Amino acid sequence: MRHRYGRLIKKDNIVVFPGALERLIEKGLDAVEDTDYAEAVEAFGQAYHFDPDNTRILAPYAVSLYETKDFELAKEVATKLLHSGTTDYLDAMELYLAISIQLQDYEEVEMTIETLFDEDIIPPDMVKKFNYLRDLNKRLSYRYVREEVEPQQKDLFSLKEFMESSTEAQQKILAFFENGELDGATKSLLAQIVEKEGLHPVVITYALVLLRESGFDKEVTVRKFGRAKRVIPSELELPNQDERSIEVIDQLTSLFEKDPSRLQMAIEASLRYGIIAYPFCWDGFSTFEVADAYKQYIESMFTGELMVATELISWIKSVDEQTDR
């Protein structure tokens, strides 16, 4: 539901008409939906300048600033959000704490979370989330102190700590290594993660992509879905960007040329496969066989009829089912 403002806003002797401010807010919200956070920051920034107490701006603006790594301003906006009386107080607090961790305000984060627990503010369904933030804050705090004393030591976590974390937590840990230089110890640890069959396949994919981006040129063995494959990460294409994946999508486009709904579902399923099964690319089957298997798989989803359980279809189905785990 769109909101309308019936008041004139004056700032620095400039009158801003309600319609102009509303357009900026809508532009920012649309940009957030498109994950174009730089565009969102620009739109919300103008709106925030003229109306900094507007509660429609604060949450998406803080998130956009966080995504564009303007953590100082993000914390200012998140603080205002916390004091705005928003009904999503704990969501706002979670964002505030995440920003504070990025700013290395570790003591503040620990004290805040401790207070939330002591005052029994956190509901049962969010306890796990705040415990994760607390654990992450402790690990990063320890790392920060340790780097001051031992500049050569760069380990963020141990393999044991990683294996004991939830799948969600493991992905968040790996996210800290994006767009950064990886030292030898971290690459070695990621290589061990890649070879752990018991991990969620998406986590293995994430670690393998990080190794690829770092130029890791040693052989590792990836094990997924009862299969094993020896690869050199630096020589791999990114998920869904290899020639085979592109050929499969082209073939699916031909098969579902007159049915865009089924085509969209088939393409999405193949893209999910490309991420979850990476670096296994329907090995041992032709492009036509793969496309035809997806056709049968999608048809069964529409009609409810059972598929012929071939090896390829069973594999595709088992991979696709990992999406919801």
pLDDT at 152: 39
Give the SS3 label for residue 14.
strand
Number of domains present in the structure of the chain: 3
Same domain membership, residue 201 and residue 81: no
* Chain mean position to CA 219: 27
**96 in a structural domain:** yes
Same domain membership, residue 144 and residue 25: yes
CA 74/CA 48 separation, integer angstroms: 12
pLDDT at 52: 82
C-beta of residue 225 within 8 angstroms of C-beta of residue 201: yes
Lowest mean pLDDT among 63-72, 223-232, 296-305: 296-305
Lowest mean pLDDT among 140-154, 189-203, 311-325: 140-154
Same domain membership, residue 74 and residue 51: yes
37 CB-near residues (< 8 Å, 6+ apart): 31, 63, 64, 67, 68
Q: What pLDDT band is residue 161 in, cutting at 50, 70 and 90?
A: confident
Q: Is 96 exposed, middle or buried (0-12, 13-18, 19+ CB in 10 A)?
A: buried
Reported as a single tens digit per residue, the pLDDT across 230-254 is 999 999 998 888 888 999 999 999 8
Domain range enclosing 53:
9-149
Which amino acid is it at 296? Q
Same domain membership, residue 247 and residue 231: no
Same domain membership, residue 142 and residue 14: yes
* Chain mean position to CA 286: 32
CA 216/CA 266 separation, integer angstroms: 33
* Chain mean position to CA 13: 43
Lowest mean pLDDT among 13-22, 247-256, 278-287: 13-22
Does 304 score more than 90 pLDDT? Answer: no
Q: What pLDDT band is residue 185 in, cutting at 50, 70 and 90?
A: confident
**39 in a structural domain:** yes
Question: Domain end: 235, 258, 283, which one?
Answer: 235
Positive or negative: CA dihedral 54, 58, 59, 65: positive
Q: Residue 185, CB half-sphere, CA atoms under 13 Å: how many? A: 8
**3 in a structural domain:** no
Give pTM, 2 decimals.
0.53
pLDDT at 217: 93
pLDDT at 162: 85
Report the CATH number that the domain containing residue 116 is assigned in CATH: 1.25.40.10
Does 311 score more than 80 pLDDT? Answer: yes
Same domain membership, residue 119 and residue 71: yes
Average pLDDT of every residue of the chain: 83
pLDDT at 145: 52
Same domain membership, residue 119 and residue 16: yes
Same domain membership, residue 40 and residue 166: no
Question: Domain end: 211, 235, 259, which one?
Answer: 235
Question: Domain end: 88, 119, 149, which one?
Answer: 149
Same domain membership, residue 119 and residue 96: yes
pLDDT at 144: 58
Lowest mean pLDDT among 5-9, 30-34, 276-280, 289-293: 5-9
Q: Is 119 exposed, middle or buried (0-12, 13-18, 19+ CB in 10 A)?
A: exposed
Lowest mean pLDDT among 14-18, 76-80, 186-190: 14-18
* Chain mean position to CA 165: 17
Q: Are strands 14-16 and 9-11 parallel, antiparallel or unpaired?
A: antiparallel
Residue 146, number of CB atoms within 10 A of its CB = 13
